[in-house]
Amino acid sequence: MLSRNAMGVAVLAFGLATSVDAGPCKTYTGTFTAVAPAECSSPVGICTHGTLVGGFPSTYDFVAHTLVPTGGPGEFAYTGHSVITTRKGKLFGSDSGHLTMLPDGTAPFVTTVQLVGGTRKYEGVTGQFVAPGVLDLATGATVGSYTARICKSDDDGEDDAESEGDN
């Protein structure tokens, strides 16, 4: 079970917007918000459409494929997929995570998105996003933070971050 203290530490650790160059891999951190989209193709009824701000500004769409009880009260494991969209291309991810449904109608969660491909600038990308957050079960809204490590085999020397001046 994810304690409130652990969630607070995760938010503090990942909440600052930064980007760190590490050879062919780069690390980004920031925050995210999301809402439930008008249509949801998830067989378990969980979809989000959100915005990443900070080191890797973009939008994303998540669709859950499975939601399985893990044995603890209100605890579930889930899988799904994400599409992260930037002006320079899309990143495709295979998601897994765990959430705990609380009596107050919220569900703290931690999602790991394994990058499995992309388009344009992100073709052949690997890496992952790790995103702790809180889902409001009544509205479908989420809020949280992320840290991402994005690796490209043919690093072009450009920063991946989507600045306002990029075309």
- Residue 105 exposed, middle or buried by CB count within 10 Å (0-12, 13-18, 19+): exposed
Residue 89 pLDDT more than 90?
yes
| Percent of the chain surpassing pLDDT 90 | 72
pLDDT at 155: 52
C-beta atoms surrounding 39 within 10 Å: 7
- Residue 141 exposed, middle or buried by CB count within 10 Å (0-12, 13-18, 19+): middle
User: Rounded mean pLDDT of 132-159?
Assistant: 85
pLDDT at 166: 39
User: Rounded mean pLDDT of 106-119?
Assistant: 97
Instruction: Give the pTM.
Output: 0.79
pLDDT at 6: 37
pLDDT at 69: 97
Q: Domain ranges in the chain?
A: 4-151
User: Rounded mean pLDDT of 100-127?
Assistant: 96
**Which superfamily does CATH assign the domain made up of 4-151 to?**
SO1590-like (2.40.350.10)
Confidence band of 152 (pLDDT split at 50, 70, 90): confident
Structure tokens at 137: 């079960």
Residue 47 pLDDT more than 90?
yes
pLDDT at 154: 63
C-beta atoms surrounding 37 within 10 Å: 15
pLDDT at 24: 86
What is the pLDDT of the chain when averaged over all its residues? 84
Residue 156 pLDDT more than 90?
no
| Percent of the chain surpassing pLDDT 70 | 77
User: Rounded mean pLDDT of 62-82?
Assistant: 96
Q: 124: Cβ–Cβ under 8 A, 6 or more apart, which residues?
A: 117, 118, 152, 153, 154
pLDDT at 13: 36
